[in-house]
Structure 1
């Protein structure tokens, strides 16, 4: 009888632990995304997303269109121009006012003067 009680208790604890793991909210994670002519960086600890066009081989820019997929938060569209345009640093936007665990989609296009064309770099989703 005692063995059955112990088995039942262990099984119950396992089910409860599994339920808690499944019920956890989505977690945000910082990332760096190389987009060919620059990069897009999200820093979860500061709630900042930045674009930076590489400062090599002529004029370049990185454009980011950012919109929440679920939840509430700001939407942005911006370009970061490189040092050929007089902007050697990155250009950032804040997601501090977004609801926790809002899913965002970042869609990126880039330009490089030597190529002379704009290239679509696709989309990436992440949680703020």
Structure 2
């Protein structure tokens, strides 16, 4: 009897947890990613995607092309060049006009003068 109650409880908890996990809507998320030549970050609270090229060792830039995946929306390209180009800060773009919970793919590339080539990084997906 006790064994059957324990089995029933374990099965019930497992089903409830699985149902909860599957029923969650797509949620917006913030992230920050180092791409070697700089960083790419998204702040869900401000709906802004920021790109920052590192200010070390010569010319560097980081570029992000945003592609909406789940529905139409803004698709800006944001590029930041470092202090070698006279720009020591970062560059941000807004997704404030995107529908809430739109899935985006961020296609990221960067350049470093000492390497002399552009690198294409793996994409990052997130929700606005």
Query: TM over 0.5: same fold?
Result: yes
What are the ranges of 5 or more consecutive residues in structure 2 without an aligned counterpart?
Answer: 1-7
Match of 2:74 in 1: 74
Shift of 1:20: 5.9
Provide the rounded CA distance (Å) in 2 between the counterparts of 1:84 and 1:90. 13
Match of 1:103 in 2: 103
Provide the rounded CA distance (Å) in 1 between the counterparts of 2:106 and 2:42. 10
Match of 2:5 in 1: none
TM-score by length of 1: 0.83
3-state SS of paired residue (2:50): strand
Shift of 1:109: 0.6
Shift of 1:21: 5.2
**RMSD, aligned α-carbons:** 2.0
Note closer, same or farther for the CA distance 1:32–1:17 as it changes in structure 2 (3 Å cut).
closer
Match of 1:24 in 2: 24
Match of 2:45 in 1: 45
3-state SS of paired residue (2:122): strand
Shift of 1:86: 0.6
Shift of 1:19: 5.0
TM-score by length of 2: 0.83
What are the ranges of 5 or more consecutive residues in structure 1 without an aligned counterpart?
Answer: 1-6
3-state SS of paired residue (2:29): coil
